[in-house]
């Protein structure tokens, strides 16, 4: 269903015929598409790109781990405060 269906070469329409240009008129210039520049990486550039990617991964990993540690430390401190407050309130009710 999703595969393209191409016409067989013998049923394809013939190419369009162009009209001959009269000798008195000058031909109009045809704009050509600019050639795309080809990026060629040297071995040194590949090493630099790989090192930059590794550095980005390490920095992002360090930031994420530090955020996880901050959340874990905050949760532990809140839990300790809750236990201390609970013990203080229970001691006041008993006396």
Centre a 10 Å sphere on the Cβ of residue 31 and count the other Cβ atoms it contains: 6
Whole-model pTM: value is 0.47
Residue 62 Rama label (left phi>0; alpha psi -120 to 50; beta): alpha
pLDDT at 20: 65
Tens-digit pLDDT profile for residues 53-81: 999 999 999 999 999 999 999 999 999 99
Q: Can you tell me which residue has the tokens 């949760």?
A: 75
Confidence of residue 32 (pLDDT cuts 50, 70, 90): confident
pLDDT at 3: 85
pLDDT at 28 over 90: no
Tens-digit pLDDT profile for residues 9-18: 776 666 777 7
């Amino acid at each position: 269903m999703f595969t393209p269906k191409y016409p067989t070469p013998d049923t394809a329409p013939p190419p369009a015929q162009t009209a001959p240009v009269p000798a008195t008129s000058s031909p109009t210039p045809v704009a050509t598409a600019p050639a795309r520049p080809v990026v060629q990486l040297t071995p040194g550039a590949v090493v630099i790109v790989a090192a930059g990617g590794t550095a980005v991964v390490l920095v992002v990993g360090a930031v994420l781990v530090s955020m996880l540690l901050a959340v874990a430390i905050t949760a532990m401190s809140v839990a300790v405060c809750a236990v201390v407050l609970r013990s203080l309130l229970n001691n006041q009710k008993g006396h």
